[in-house]
Amino acid sequence: MVYYVAVDIGGTHMRVALFAADGQKPLRRERVPTLGPQPPEVRLVALLRRIWPSDGMVQGIGVAAPGPLDPYRGVILATPNIPAWRNFPLADHLRAAFGVPVVVDNDANLAAWGEWRYGAGRGCRHMLYVTVSTGIGAGVIVDGRLLHGARGLAGELGHVAVVADGPRCGCGQRGHLEALASGTAIARRARAALAAGAVSTLADLSALPTSADVARAAQAGDGLAREIMTTAAGHLGRALAGFLHIFNPERVVLGGGVVQAGEVFWRPLEDALRQAVMHPAYLDGVLLTRAALGDDAGLLGALALVRAK
């Protein structure tokens, strides 16, 4: 029997899954915390051995990994949550351990690829995928191809500057979309407002509010929470308008926990998007929709990537 293996390396967990040659549902899957007493590459190899089949041939391994990275060489250039992986040749490391082809790509790119192949992007040729959670990641499908750029670094739409001298982003720069509309940004704004004496039901929580807390409070009608969600959604909507001007997609797929806040986020986002496009033609025929694959988008994107090699 012929198999493929998919890997999704996150800041919290590494997940692996074994798939039949033409299957979409994993035959086996395992996960472990990304960081632990052993180096992450040692933990990853051990995790892969737990799902490796004894009754057939693995055709290849596809890996969704945090960036920035070089997908052409399979090298992790740097990743904040795994500081030991600086210029780390992940593809070569796994090839040496298992003797099969290995392909590596950015996790947001592969989440986009997974949604395009198996999820909310099926049937279109031009798609923009944006995930809004702790940070903001993105992937762009142009005429049925994943956009990589000259060095494989394209698609970092969360690091587009939106507000000059705005809040500092996790990357160190200021005013990026991620610093204004991510779950981290929403929680930070709520905490700053409470520290400044704002009146809100969020002040009754036993711990500092998270973005999920803010979303729930906004759904319940809390004024501060609604203002924070509206502001974040507005930043994202205006940024999406700019992305429509650049990429002219036929479908925009939004994933991540923040998008699950519902109408308190979705409606101001749509309003800002409509107001910010330079001409209504950019919205003609465009479907704005939620992602369909949840946490499995990266795994399925890695599977689709390695199957295509």
Answer yes or no: are the C-beta atoms of 236 and 269 closer than 8 Å.
yes
Domain architecture of the chain: domains with CATH = 2-112+296-308 (3.30.420.40), 123-291 (3.30.420.40)
pLDDT in tens, 197-227: 999 999 999 999 999 999 999 999 999 999 9
**Alpha carbon separation from 67 to 15, 135, 157, 267, 307 (Å, rounded):** 17, 12, 13, 31, 22
Burial of 99 (0-12, 13-18, 19+ CB in 10 A): exposed
Integer Cα distance of 56 and 18 in angstroms: 12
Q: How big, in percent rounded to 5, are the helix, strand and coil portions of the chain?
A: 40, 20, 35
For residue 11, the model assigns a pLDDT of 80
**Cα-Cα end-to-end distance for the chain:** 19
Integer Cα distance of 238 and 222 in angstroms: 24
Q: Does 248 or 172 have the greater pLDDT score?
A: 248
pLDDT in tens, 95-107: 999 999 999 999 9
The DSSP annotation for 74-128 comes to TEE---TT-TT-SSB-HHHHHHHHH-S-EEEEEHHHHHHHHHHHHSTTTT-SSEE
The tokens for 124 are 């279109």
The tokens for 149 are 């750029």
Per-residue pLDDT, averaged over 115-128, amounts to: 97
The tokens for 166 are 């705005």
Answer yes or no: are the C-beta atoms of 188 and 181 closer than 8 Å.
no
Integer Cα distance of 110 and 167 in angstroms: 28
pLDDT in tens, 192-202: 999 999 999 99
The alpha carbon dihedral of 32, 105, 255, 17 has a sign of negative
Instruction: Please determine, for residue 148, whether its predicted confidence score (pLDDT) is greater than 90.
Output: yes
Beta strands (DSSP E) in the chain are 2-9, 13-20, 28-33, 57-65, 69-70, 75-76, 102-106, 127-132, 136-142, 145-146, 251-255, 287-290
Per-residue pLDDT, averaged over 246-264, amounts to: 96
Block residue for tokens 């919290």: 12
